[in-house]
Amino acid sequence: MDEQELRSLFSAAPPDAPPPSFTRDDVVRESRRQTVRRRNRITAGLGAVVLVVAGFGVYGVVSGGTPGSLTAAKSDSAAQSDASGQPGDNPMRPQVGGESPNFSSQVPQQGGPGEGKTGQLAEGASGCEQVDGELATALAGELPGHVDTTQAVPGGACSTVSRSAGFPVPGGEVAAAAYPKGIPEVFKSQPAGTVTSRVGTASGGVLVLVSVPQAGGAAPYAGQLDQFAHALAPRF
């Protein structure tokens, strides 16, 4: 191999590697920075968890959670009440064989002082404090003209053991009371001129309709009262 070939081989060889752009100290500093970042992330995550747990604790205190002992005591009390089956001294409890102490002796009159208040509508309700919604709807459908069920009152035929509903009408009031099977018909005395109709119901009870006139007037729909009663009785 002559000198020219040797010179060609040396010129074709790769040059020396360039010097590195970083030193060992740079590597150590970067490693420390990464370690500090990881620690900061872990610390922040633990802080968030602590805040969430503390928040739930504060919410439980503010919302007034019932201690377990009180909850157990309430459950035992409710169970004893169910077992005894006694509803207590509830003023709305029906009184068989007597009238309610809240029973009004005044029959609500059309255009009068309004002593008969509109009662709450409730399906299957008994007594003179609530209007039976089913009976009110049925009676409103039989009365002539447009009758608004929101104007229903317990009516002059109500008693503590009957489902009752009545409506003020021109000239007085028409009211109905449905008595269960085996329960005697006991309701307050009616003013002079009142017309009454009694018909047996489909359930074996009795349906009573009364037409109460205003003072000195004639009973409204007196000639149609039996017709109303026979139309309503099969529904009860």
User: Between these two residues, 136 and 41, which has the higher pLDDT value?
Assistant: 136
The answer to whether residue 18 sits within a structural domain is no
Q: Are residues 50 and 124 in the same domain?
A: no
Tens digits of residue pLDDT in 80-112: 545 444 444 443 333 333 333 333 334 333 333
- Is residue 180 one of the residues assigned to a domain? yes
Total number of domains constituting the chain: 2
- In which element (H, E) is residue 76 found? helix 68-84
- Assess whether pLDDT exceeds 60 at residue 25: yes
Residue 149 lies in a domain: yes
169 in a structural domain = yes
Q: Cα–Cα distance between 136 and 131 in angstroms, integer?
A: 7
From 84-93, 153-162, 176-185, 221-230, the region with the lowest mean pLDDT: 84-93
Whether residue 38 sits in one domain with residue 124? no
The radius of gyration of the chain from alpha carbons, rounded to an integer in Å, stands at 44
Q: Indicate whether this model's pTM tops 0.85.
A: no
The pLDDT of residue 196 is 95
d(CA 219, CA 93): 33
Separation between Cα atoms, residue 78 and residue 75, nearest integer Å: 5
- 40 and 133 fall within a common domain: no
Cα–Cα distance measured from residue 58 to residue 50, given in angstroms and rounded to the nearest whole number: 12
For residue 33, give its domain range: 25-54
Residue 97 falls inside a structural domain: no
